[in-house]
Amino acid sequence: MGEALQTALTDRYDALSTSLRARVISFVLDAFDSLGSYRDGDAAAFIENVLPTVLAAQAQMGQITDAYLSAMIADMLGGAGAPAGVQLGEALRGVNPAEVYARPFVTTWTALSKGKPYAQAVAEGRTRLLSITETDLQLARTHAAQQSMQRGGVRFFRRRLTGSKNCALCTIASTQRYRVENLMPIHPGCHCKPEPLVGNRDPGHVIDEALLREAHDAVAKGVGQSDAGGRAPDYRNVIITRQHGEYGPLLAVRRNNFTGPDDIK
């Protein structure tokens, strides 16, 4: 079927994944907002209430991602395919999910201990909860995509932008190809999706010269300096992939610093 079918598959997948993300986030935030207080008991009740739904949503994200990529790969190769299923553990971060979803409360308590107003402290906890939930759904997507593409014999993939607005990190990274054995780098709030590049021939590091030039033009307008050859500024030295202890590959700006074991006294 070619391009028409692939476009239809992409549109359907985008609609399903966007709807799933919106429903889960709404449920989790509403549960947080409805708490009478944010003490230990409230945290325990919240986790007991929301965690089964969050884990089920992660599993569903994995299923629809596998179905989408299996159909895409089959059409690209001119055959028929069906999703074989993916295996996603509950602890995609390598950390007990109950511990992860207690962190918004820790954020709230920490803000209160610093003398911040109650409403501000709760808002900070809510913001962290939003980031956690979005990131977990994205991790389910990337882990499922890697399994599905490896099973389909795909060697390379690209990150496809979604929505009408995308950050500079994702925009520039979307012009590059990645190897399937490496998880797609993400960042908190990232909604990009992996898209297979079928074929055994390496397409080269840069696969979208036009978009990369547009990014250079935008940088030139903002900072007065750009180079379509990628030397000034050299994006390989600016936008990098760090290894996060929980997320795995993390899309980041080189100047950003992160707390490590040596920083803990």
Q: Where are the domains of the chain?
A: 1-153, 155-265
- pLDDT confidence of 232, banded at 50, 70, 90? very low
- Pairwise CA distance, residues 126 & 146, whole Å: 31
Q: Which of 94-98, 108-112, 191-195 has the highest mean pLDDT?
A: 108-112
Length of the chain: 265
Residue with tokens 């899309």: 251
Mean pLDDT of the chain: 81
Return the structure tokens found at 109: 């308590």
- Pairwise CA distance, residues 47 & 150, whole Å: 34
The pLDDT score that the predictor gives to residue 248 is: 66
Cα 258–102–265 angle (5° rounding)? 40
Instruction: Report the b/e string of 185-202 with b at 16+ CB within 10 A.
Output: bbbeebbbbbbbbbeeee
- pLDDT confidence of 24, banded at 50, 70, 90? very high
Q: What is the DSSP string of 8-48?
A: HHHHHHHHHHHHHHHHHHHHHHHHHHT-S--SHHHHHHHHH
- Pairwise CA distance, residues 23 & 104, whole Å: 19
- pLDDT confidence of 78, banded at 50, 70, 90? confident
- Full-model pTM: 0.80
The string of pLDDT tens digits covering residues 118-174 is: 999 999 999 999 999 999 999 999 999 999 988 888 888 888 887 656 676 777 777
Q: What are phi and psi of 27, to 5 degrees?
A: -65, -45
Q: Tell me which residue of 155, 5, 4, 10 sits closest to 69, measured CA to CA.
A: 10
Residue 13: how many CA atoms within 13 Å on its side-chain side?
27
How are strands ordered across the β-sheet holding 193-197? 177-179, 156-160, 193-197
Structure-model confidence comparison of residues 103 and 82, the more confident one? 103
Return the structure tokens found at 87: 């295996």
